[in-house]
Amino acid sequence: MKYLLIAVSEMKAGIERDLFDQYKKRLSKPLSVVEIKQRNVPSIEAIDILKHITSDDWVCALDERGLTLASRELSDCICGAEQAFKRLVFVIGGADGLAPDIRVRANLCLSFGKMTWPHLLVRGLLAEQLYRCQQIAANHPYHRD
User: How does pLDDT run across 27-83, given as a tens digit for each residue?
Assistant: 999 999 999 999 999 999 999 999 999 999 999 999 999 999 999 999 999 999 999
Band (pLDDT 50/70/90 cuts) for residue 95 is confident
Exposure pattern of 75-98 as b/e (b: 16+ CB <10 Å)?
bebbeebbeebebbbbbbbbeebb
Q: Which residue has the higher pLDDT, 140 or 17?
A: 17
pLDDT at 143: 63
Q: What is the CATH number of domain 2-137?
A: 3.40.1280.10
Mean pLDDT of 101-123: 94
- Reported as a pLDDT band with limits 50, 70 and 90, residue 119 is confident
* pLDDT classification of 145: cutoffs 50, 70, 90: low
Q: Is the pLDDT of residue 85 over 70?
A: yes
Average pLDDT for 102-113? 97
For residues 133 and 120, give the distance between their C-alpha atoms in angstroms, rounded to a whole number: 21
Task: Kindly state the percentage of the chain with pLDDT values over 90.
Answer: 88
**Residue of higher predicted confidence among 119 and 24:** 24
Residue 144: the pLDDT is: 61
